[in-house]
Structure 1
Amino acid sequence: MQRTLVLLKPDTVQRRLMGEIISRFENKGLNIIGLKMLQVTPDLAKQHYAEHVEKPFYPSLEAFITAAPIVALAIEGLDVIKVVRDMLGATSGLAAAAGTIRGDYSSSRQMNLVHASDGPEAAKRELELYFDDSEICHYQPVLTPFMHAADEA
């Protein structure tokens, strides 16, 4: 099983789309093993977006991500990083395909509702920024045998 971090950004919270988006991950058969609402501080934003801090667009990115609460999700599943990123769609909601989260709910590049880790190393680093080990709940849903074959795990 692979893990990834998903952030429901301030626009998701403000637009009251949290449940709608979380249900998409659950309906896909992914396991939410950590979930919390928090306010991103400027310091946390700088840690999370370290590769962008010196870029000209960073101040507006920080202002956006710290403007309202977010919901952080630790999600586990088979090939979950790719699965989640495919579910999100293209970064810009205007370019995202219909049926994806961004394609259905976003019309902006920056206010694109959701962040997801882009690879295993990023997922590990980002999960550690948002969750302590004690905040991750390990469990096996009783539906797992009906979600994928045992030899796919």
Structure 2
Amino acid sequence: MQKERTFAMIKPDAVQRGFIGEIISRFEKKGIKIVAMKLVAVDRNLAEKHYGVHKGKPFFEPTVQYITSSPVVAMVLEGVNVIEMVRGMTGATDPQKASMGTIRGDFGQFIGRNIIHASDGKD
């Protein structure tokens, strides 16, 4: 089986609440390799680019404000079937609908503070 890479980002609420180590540990325990990782202060331009598909929607501005409020941990993850695996581990976008045992189900507060971004494609 061929390895693939994907992007994941530990969001400001997880950084502020001290969940970086727990989240990284979950990935490592599943055999997912972290090939790049950086603590990043996201500026408005980068936030608008990342969330550009949502421009014009009512949650766009609050999302940009949130993601620029505190540093994030940007990661490139690698493994066999890593995209599907990471997205399964993160859980539903809305933490209230995410299963217990997933990152969002265990740590997320509400949809605007959902701990982590996991790409749905090879980034």
Q: What residue number does 2:8 align with?
A: 6
CA distance in 2, matches of 1:116, 1:4: 8
What are the ranges of 5 or more consecutive residues in structure 2 without an aligned counterpart?
Answer: none
TM-score, with normalisation over the residues of structure 2?
0.96
Deviations 1:40-79 (A, max 9, x none): 1000001111101221210000000000000001100011
- Of residues 33, 37, 40, the one that matches 2:39 is 37
Larger Rg: 1
Which blocks of at least 5 consecutive residues in structure 1 are unaligned? 124-153
Q: Which has the higher strand share?
A: 2
Secondary structure in 2 aligned to 1:83?
A: helix
Q: Greater relative contact order (Cα 8 A, min sep 6): structure 1 or 2?
A: 2
Aligned twin of 2:66: 64
Q: CA RMSD in A?
A: 0.7
Q: 1:95 pairs with 88, 94, 97, which one?
A: 97
Q: Give the match for residue 25 of structure 2.
A: 23
SS at 2:106 equivalent: helix
In the TM superposition, residue 107 of structure 1 has moved relative to its aligned partner by 2.5
Mapped partners of 1:89, 1:74: distance in 2: 18
Q: Deviations over 1:74-101 (max 9, x none)?
A: 1000111110000000011111001101
Q: What is the TM-score with the length of structure 1 in the denominator?
A: 0.77
SS of structure 1 residue aligned to 2:117: strand
Question: Any runs of at least 4 consecutive aligned residues in structure 1 with deviations exceeding 4 A, and if so which?
Answer: none
Q: Partner of 2:83 in structure 1?
A: 81
Aligned length: 121
- The structure whose residues are more often helix, as a share, is 1
